[in-house]
Amino acid sequence: MLAGLEASADTRVFVSLAGTLLEAEITETNGDNITLKRKSDDQSLVVNRKTLCKEDNTYIARWIEQNPDKATGALTTDPAPVPVQKFSLSCQTLPSKSNRGPTGGGERVIELSYNFNLNNREVQRDLQNATGIVITLGRNMMGSDSDLIVLQKELFEVNIRAQSKMVHSTTPIRLTYSQGVGANYGVKSLGYVLIVRDSAGNILFVEASPDSNAKFAKEIIAISEVPCVVDRDFMVKPESSVPASYISF
């Protein structure tokens, strides 16, 4: 999935180990330092390749082979990979929902947010410098049942002492829809996915509703712009439009 994040012949969406994304092109390299020109404003940025994902490092090595005149120094040999340290995490998820409109059908407005109560169940180990990613999902009432709408994507810091908890609440989102009387229209809520990664980018915890969406964590991490329409494998469908008039914050 990440290897396919190429926006054009020259630019690429680079993904850091912290989950941030940057659409840019490589202009030169000096050892492990990679100079990128950001597409949005042509600003040059220097990043260390070791802060980028594995797929980006493969792309960088291929770029150096194809552009030897723009590359100085040599990439350092990566040390042996550090085993992922598993953490014992649990989460109690509490949706906060208000629903307005006639119960028998017609237009309704729902305001929805999620409260994630994350619990570090480790006896002695603190969880530090981790990152939480949460997306809220919806469905276009006039669209295909096979498509989803990623309504919002939030990143937040996760630092939890041993045997302690933290709470993250998503920004409330307001959805309008109609069903049961006349033609269906609007956007209905359809669950969430919560991902927690350590400081190296390793996935420590995933929770989803419906549960089957948990297996698409890597695809969800790669989504860069929301709201957007995705298929059931969480592949973005740029040709599909988001019914933005039925979504507000």
Query: Count of domains in the chain?
Result: 2
* Domain assignment of residue 50, yes or no: yes
How much is the pLDDT for 5? 46
C-alpha closest to that of 234 among 215, 207, 249, 208: 215
- Considering the domain architecture, whether residues 208 and 147 belong to the same structural domain is answered as yes
Q: What is the DSSP letter of 126?
A: -
For residue 217, the enclosing domain spans 89-248
Sign, Cα dihedral of 213, 92, 205, 98: positive
Percentage of residues in the chain having pLDDT higher than 70:
92
Helix/strand number for the chain, H first, E second? 2, 15
pLDDT one-digit tens code per residue, 39-96:
989 999 999 998 888 889 989 999 999 999 999 888 887 655 555 568 899 999 999 9
Tokens of 86: 């598993």
How much is the pLDDT for 17? 81
Q: What is the DSSP letter of 52?
A: B
* Domain assignment of residue 226, yes or no: yes
Angle at 85 between CA 129 and CA 165, to 5 degrees: 50
Is 55:15 a contact under the CB 8 Å cutoff? yes
- pTM recorded for the entire structure: 0.67
